Chain A
């Protein structure tokens, strides 16, 4: 979970919106995954907003998420934006978090040159990489094998 050593972070660098998402980016710099949650309907959402996309309440709070999820789906990129172009092939993915929200990531802990070796449904855990002074980006690392049967029929529906 240690951030990569000094070689310059050449990928796109986020310029966080601290008004809407301050606690998310602050948490990232402390190694904690913070998510917004609605005080009215109790549901979490991501990306961070100033209004709940489920019930439209503006009464929101932040909480620390488990940092656990599964791979919903992935793709292997043969070209990338900015500095990512130097890291091809890399596997992007959408992660289903235990808290019921979905986040995009670049998958860590996989061999992107062999798509067949990457499993939908595999468990992942969050980690953070330093992008610039005080700015850390969330990444998800595969930490175990996917559901038995290697593909069909995991419980998460569509």
Chain B
């Protein structure tokens, strides 16, 4: 008989929290967003501050994010990690925290994110447009951004075009992903695009609206692209024993895996695939489960294309048919296989690094603590969660369950 992986179910997610406000928040620093999120997550989990012995953090909090956050919160953990892999970092952290908890190094881990993706650049924290001199020591700047490509859409559009060329997918196929994801946002009052009350362009959309929205980087139009927001979020992980004593139904980490294919896009071998194929294989293998046993998915949707190609990599659709996951009713509210139930990076919130929001939502859904309109809380007891960072560069995949 096959031995179970030693890390399987070695830790559980027992609570989560967000910053008090999310969206467009003038006047708060990323550290303030972190601190609000951690405070809310600690309260949600019902753990004591003095129990926290591991901190895992990134997002604009200086050069040493975990150290900056620990100092700000007034805690002195014994295990610290500021891994930076882009938006997928927070799912990498789960893999790292799982190993640290299962290995007996720590008992309670906090993973935190705070990022002023919207307000930061407007305050002059992080510039782009005016740069004329390029860092000669950064290959990405010297050999890629030299050609004017500005921001993530500029790069991802190349991959989407190659995919369309290879598989015959159309902009309409991808637009449908944005439409379905917006439907979920209409059930979540916290979603930036929930309704006309939360945003002038909020509320339901159709495929024509997506296709007709302003072009950002052909073939990506505005509504193929994620939001750009301010956001803080955190989760708490602990040992199986401690997890069973806390208020929420534990969300078990059945499997975790990480992978990368490249850093700079010119080094990406296959523009129509991502390393999620590898990180998912590792996570499924640890879990002893496969895609057919998953009952919902949280998939990084920085762009409609990201979600589609990742669905394939996670084994949820055949090759070349990623967008088909959203084509019928399955992925929609009330459907058989809910996807991106918070409203996604496309319509909920996306501060630049979205991975933590996937994690918070998966925990809430599996712990049955999702709050919102009828239909927002789903019945799934297993979830596959995948984060993508950089220019389709890094991925981490989790398999989560609840009893």
Contact = CB atoms under 8 A, between A and B. Distances in A.
Given A82-B148, A104-B143, A16 B218 contact: no
Interface of B: 128-137, 139, 142-150, 154-155, 157-159, 161-162, 165-166, 168, 214-220, 264-267, 269-273
Interface in A89-131: 89-90, 92-94, 102-106, 115, 120
16 contacts: A11-B132, A12-B131, A12-B145, A15-B134, A17-B137, A47-B264, A78-B217, A79-B216, A80-B148, A81-B145, A82-B130, A84-B147, A85-B148, A92-B154, A93-B158, A94-B271
A12 B136 contact: no
A76 interface: yes
A106 B147 contact: yes
Contacts of A72: 162, 271
A81 B133 contact: no
Contacts of A90: 148
B148 A11 contact: yes
Contacts of B271: 72-73, 94, 158
A110 to B, nearest CB: 12
Given A12-B133, A78-B217, 20 more contacts: A12-B134, A12-B146, A14-B146, A15-B133, A15-B142, A73-B158, A73-B271, A75-B220, A76-B157, A77-B148, A77-B154, A80-B149, A81-B148, A92-B149, A92-B158, A94-B158, A104-B147, A115-B218, A115-B219, A158-B269
B158 A77 contact: no
Which of B146, B166, B168 counts the most A-chain CB atoms under 10 A from its CB?
B146
Given A13-B133, A13-B134, A92 B147 contact: yes
A82 B217 contact: no
Contact of A16 (B136, B145, B154): B136
Interface size band for A: 35 or more
A83 interface: yes
A87 B147 CA distance: 11
Contacts of B165: 73, 120, 151-152
Contacts of A62: none
B177 to A, nearest CB: 19
Contacts of B264: 47
A13 B162 CA distance: 29
Nearest to B218: A76
A93 B215 CA distance: 17
A140 to B, nearest CB: 10
Contacts of A103: 143, 266
B219 A82 contact: no
